[in-house]
Structure 1
Amino acid sequence: MSQTNRGRAQDRARVAAGQDHEVRYEADKEGVSKADVKDAVHEVGNSRNKVEQKLEEGR
């Protein structure tokens, strides 16, 4: 895991549904709405790979 400027660990393999910037990034990346990303996180958990797979299934 990489570290932030403040020394905190970053986990880029996770999508935090409560973090608007992460949800917005994933929505823009996948071409879906923020609500779709949040729904996917609630269904499959916060693993970025699983969320992306779930969003691709819905297309």
Structure 2
Amino acid sequence: MADNKQHVGEPDRSRVSGSEDYEVRYFADKHGLTMDQARDLIARHGNQRDELDRAAEQLKRA
């Protein structure tokens, strides 16, 4: 199925871009992580925001 062309140029809020420092920094600050910890989570779990949020919460509990 083709992408919805009505949303061209709008950011995809369901993903965290590991290549954009400001997105990694926001994610790290949101969860009280270092930038390295945030990048490691993105590398291990992919860029789906929901999954990363769960992984960050588990990391904080450990």
Q: TM-score range by the shorter chain?
A: 0.7 to 0.9
1:32 partner letter: L
- Give the ranges of 4+ consecutive aligned residues of structure 1 lying more than 2 Å apart after TM superposition: none
Segments of structure 2 that go 5 or more residues without pairing to the other structure are: none
2:58 partner letter: E
Aligned pairs, number: 55
Query: Is 1:35 the counterpart of 2:36 in the alignment?
Result: yes
Q: After superposition, where does 1:1-59 map in structure 2 within 5 Å?
A: 8-59=9-60
Post-superposition Cα deviations, 1:16-49, rounded to whole Å, max 9, x if no partner, equal 1110000000111111111111111111110011
Cα RMSD for the two superposed structures: 1.6
In 2, the alpha carbon distance for the partners of 1:16 and 1:29 equals 15
Structure with greater helix share of residues: 2
Segments of structure 1 that go 5 or more residues without pairing to the other structure are: none
TM-score when scaled to structure 2? 0.79
- Report the CA distance between 1:10 and its aligned residue: 1.0
The higher radius of gyration belongs to 2
- Report the CA distance between 1:9 and its aligned residue: 2.5
In 1, the alpha carbon distance for the partners of 2:30 and 2:51 equals 15
